[in-house]
Amino acid sequence: MNLEFLPISREDMRKQNIAQLDFVYVIGDAYVDHPSFGHAIISRLLQSRGYTVGIISQPDWKCADSITVLGEPRLGFLVSAGNMDSMVNHYAVSKKHRQMDSYTPGGLMGKRPDRAVMVYCNLIRQVYKKTPIIAGGIEASLRRLAHYDYWSDSLKRSLLMDCGADLISYGMGERSIVEIADALSSGINIKDITFVAGTCFKTKQIEQVYDYELLPSYEDLLADSANYARSFYRQYCNTDPFSGKRMAERYGTVYVVQNPPAKPLTQEEMDEVYALPYCRTYHPSYETQGGIPAIAEVKFSLVSNRGCFGGCNFCALTFHQGRIVQTRSHDSILQEARDMTEDKEFKGYIHDVGGPTANFRQPSCEKQLRAGVCKNRQCLFPTPCKNLKVSHRDYVELLRKLRSLPRVKKVFVRSGIRFDYLISDPSDEFLRELVNYHISGQLKVAPEHVSNRVLEKMGKPQHSVYLKFVEKYRKMNQDCGKNQFLVPYLMSSHPGCTMRDAVELAEYLRDLGYMPEQVQDFYPTPSTISTCMYYTGLDPRTMEPVYVPRNPHEKALQRALMQYRNPKNRKMVEEALKLAHREDLIGYGPKCLIRPEKENSGEIRGKVKPGKRKTIRNVHKKK
Query: Domains of the chain by range and CATH?
Result: 10-199 (3.40.50.2300), 300-440 (3.30.750.210), 463-623 (no CATH)
pTM: 0.92
| Confidence at 612, pLDDT banded by 50, 70, 90 | very low
d(CA 407, CA 342): 9
d(CA 391, CA 382): 20
The answer to whether 142 and 237 are in contact (CB under 8 A) is no
DSSP one-letter code for 97: B
Give the model's pLDDT for residue 604. 42
The answer to whether 41 and 273 are in contact (CB under 8 A) is yes
Give the model's pLDDT for residue 609. 44
What's the whole-number average pLDDT of the chain?
Answer: 93
Evaluate if residue 621 carries a pLDDT over 80.
no
Exposure of 412 by Cβ count < 10 A (0-12 exposed, 13-18 middle, 19+ buried)? Answer: middle
d(CA 495, CA 486): 26
d(CA 291, CA 297): 13
Give the model's pLDDT for residue 620. 54
The answer to which of 29-38, 107-116, 366-375, 423-432 has the lowest mean pLDDT is 366-375
d(CA 224, CA 88): 27
| Confidence at 2, pLDDT banded by 50, 70, 90 | low
DSSP 218-285: HHHHHH-HHHHHHHHHHHHTT--TTTPPEEEEEETTEEEEEPPPPPPPPHHHHHHHHTS----EE-GG
Backbone torsions φ then ψ of 492, nearest 5 degrees: -105, 160
Task: Give the distance, in angstroms, between the CA of residue 150 and the centroid of all CA atoms in the same chain.
Answer: 17
DSSP one-letter code for 586: B
Evaluate if residue 128 carries a pLDDT over 80.
yes
Please report, for residues 35, 270, 309, 410, 522, the alpha-carbon distance to residue 326 in angstroms, rounded to integers and kept in the order given.
Answer: 16, 8, 11, 25, 28
d(CA 326, CA 459): 22
Strands 199-203 and 167-169: antiparallel
| Confidence at 370, pLDDT banded by 50, 70, 90 | confident
pLDDT for 556-582, tens place per residue? Answer: 999 999 999 999 999 999 999 999 999
Contacts of 270 (CB under 8 A, 6+ apart): 306, 326, 327, 328, 329, 332
Question: Minimal CA–CA distance to 382: which of 313, 333, 307, 436?
Answer: 313
Please report, for residues 36, 253, 600, the alpha-carbon distance to residue 178 in angstroms, rounded to integers and kept in the order given.
Answer: 19, 31, 66
